[in-house]
Structure 1
Amino acid sequence: MTKRIFLLTFLILPYLFLHAGIVVLNGLSHNYKVENGQIYKGKIALQNTGDKPQNVKIFLQDFSYQSNGSIYYTTPHTNERTNTDWIRLNTTFLTLKAKEKTEVFYEITVPNQLNSPGSYWSVVIVEPVDEIKPSDSKQGINITSVVRYAIQIITDFDSEKVKPDLKFENIKVEKEEGRQILKIAIANQGAIYCRSTASVEIYNRKNGEKIGTFSSQAMGLLPQTSKSFPIDISKMPPDKYTAVIIATDEDENAFAINVELEVKND
């Protein structure tokens, strides 16, 4: 009998197009500012870009990540700030014809007595599934790659009462594909989701003259998670420098640290 092994790949980046298969058309992060007892409605737009029908399973999970690249998809209630109990999907299974588009609707019902300000979140998993048809005609193992999408549903309650608390976990320079990359690991130890940017101001260590400023792309940081923010500093010649590392959020809250950097030849 043929055994089948599924390789699962999660996508949590903005819209990604595949040559064939299921794609999400309206983003992988849905954010809401919410109030006690209110109901909010949203949708996930899907398309089957393939040439044959595709079954799709839809379900909720908790979600977190760390700057070392670890990503955790866990059962509901693993995260103490989960909102999985607030979310109701209008379907958990559907079949899309070739090239067909559809929308999955969800409803968020915020509890009446929510007291703790900050962000609550989970992810809606969209997973294409195939019918498994056992066959005794072939020996060995079939390996099937499955691409899952994880759509973040982030609900912010009384967000004006809390601020992110950004901490630097690690700072290092690494060479990647011939480029010198400054990697800044930042943790959000606060209770509110934010979009953060890392930047570095580099100075001559001998005379204190400012040499350059470089910045990362903005990335979202959920509470009690961390990410590595890469900055290309390949324009800096090999040397030892002093630097100021700055992390800012969309509200211009800033967190800074002084460090020494060494850019090497190899």
Structure 2
Amino acid sequence: MQRNIFLQLNWRTATTFVAAMLLSVVFFSHAARAESQITLSPTSQHIKIAPGKTHEGAFTVINSGDAPLDVRIYVAPYQVQNEKYDPIFSKETPRTQISRWVSFERNTYSLKPSEQVEVPYKINTPQSIPDGGQYAAIFAETNEEPDGSSIAKKKRVGVILYARPDGKTVESGKVEFTNISNLQIVTGLTFNQRIINEGNTDLSAQSNVTVKSLSGKELFTDSQQKIVLPDTTRAVPTEWKNTPHFGITTVSQKTTLAGKEFADERTVIIISPILLLILGAAIILIVGGGIYGARRSKSKRRHASRNTR
């Protein structure tokens, strides 16, 4: 009997020891695994190019992780789709021809942890080019080895090139403000603008939204700066969270585009759904109480008249 107990204790001790060893191996192997991280600066460049001329530029790639990195440099066309401005890096248009004109001294780099390198590039602009802006993205992409799996992990960062050629440049556009109802039963409010670029080069739009109370107190303000590519429309939403339970406000929207200011101002009454429910319940109680009181008073008068008879 004692021998069986001894064997059971030894078995439990051995099992616990093995489990602890396995957990420690997993923990320390995970902790020791180096983490890869890549960053790039700047993330956008606004440049000028001229037919038949060469533009030289550079950007910095940084290994901000704990493991060595092999980085590949390449260029792709840059365009957008829909008003949310989802990027497209595979579609060529007359405005992405610049992706064919970009070249690099080197296409690959090896970076140690915390090391950074300046990557030069050249844009050899041909003599005959389309009018208006040209757009491309230069990417720095890691080429990591699989870590125990058969799937290689890749990370990439990029710099967007906004190029303006010498020649005929048309800067033109307009702003459409979404119609806001004067009565809003909400707990949060979103203001929407549609910025339309009608020119042939990219435009910078500065949008400002301000909400004030009747007394002039500022309740909310927001400012955004967006780049709008030619022949596109960009939706710019502004979200005001946690609006007051009740307020009579003045909403002012102003956007500067292509040297012009577009503005919209209106009065908006805000009521929260909770407050509306409370007011509704109070009205029901008041009306119901009034009806009940009137009926009870009428019943008392009838009862009193019967007693007098």
Q: C-alpha distance in 2, partners of 1:56/1:99?
A: 14
Q: Say if 1:237 and 1:134 are closer, same or farther in 2 by CA, change over 3 A.
A: closer
1:64 and 1:72 in contact (8 A); partners too: yes
Q: What are the within-5 Å matches in structure 2 for residues 135-146 of structure 1?
A: 146=154
CA apart distance, 1:73 = 2.5
TM-score (norm 2): 0.61
Q: Who is 2:276 aligned against?
A: none
CA apart distance, 1:50 = 1.6
Identity %: 18
Q: What are the within-5 Å matches in structure 2 for residues 66-85 of structure 1?
A: 69-75=84-90, 77=92, 79-82=93-96, 83-85=98-100
Q: Say if 1:259 and 1:22 are closer, same or farther in 2 by CA, change over 3 A.
A: same
Matched, 1:21 2:37: yes
Of residues 35, 45, 54, the one that matches 2:69 is 54
Structure 1 unaligned blocks of 5 or more = 1-18, 137-141
User: Secondary structure, in 3 states, of the residue corresponding to 2:100?
Assistant: helix
Structure 2 unaligned blocks of 5 or more = 1-34, 274-309
Matched, 1:155 2:163: yes
Q: Who is 2:201 aligned against?
A: 192
2:135 and 2:163 in contact (8 A); partners too: yes
Of residues 137, 154, 173, the one that matches 1:123 is 137
Please provide the CA RMSD for this pair. Answer: 3.9
Q: What are the within-5 Å matches in structure 2 for residues 1-16 of structure 1?
A: none
Q: Say if 1:105 and 1:258 are closer, same or farther in 2 by CA, change over 3 A.
A: same
CA apart distance, 1:133 = 6.7
CA apart distance, 1:35 = 2.0
Structure 1 counterpart of 2:170, one-letter code: V
Q: RCO greater where, 1 or 2, for CA within 8 Å and sep 6 or more?
A: 1
Tell me the matched-pair count.
234
Which structure's residues are more often helix, by fraction?
Answer: 2
Matched, 1:91 2:99: no
1:216 and 1:229 in contact (8 A); partners too: no
Q: C-alpha distance in 1, partners of 2:147/2:211?
A: 60
1:67 and 1:228 in contact (8 A); partners too: no
Q: Say if 1:248 and 1:22 are closer, same or farther in 2 by CA, change over 3 A.
A: same
2:36 and 2:67 in contact (8 A); partners too: no
TM-score (norm 1): 0.69
CA apart distance, 1:87 = 1.0
Q: C-alpha distance in 2, partners of 1:104/1:175?
A: 54
Q: Say if 1:237 and 1:154 are closer, same or farther in 2 by CA, change over 3 A.
A: same
CA apart distance, 1:70 = 4.8
Q: Say if 1:68 and 1:41 are closer, same or farther in 2 by CA, change over 3 A.
A: same
Which structure's residues are more often strand, by fraction?
Answer: 1
Q: C-alpha distance in 1, partners of 2:65/2:225?
A: 33
CA apart distance, 1:179 = 5.5
2:146 and 2:152 in contact (8 A); partners too: no
Larger radius of gyration: 2
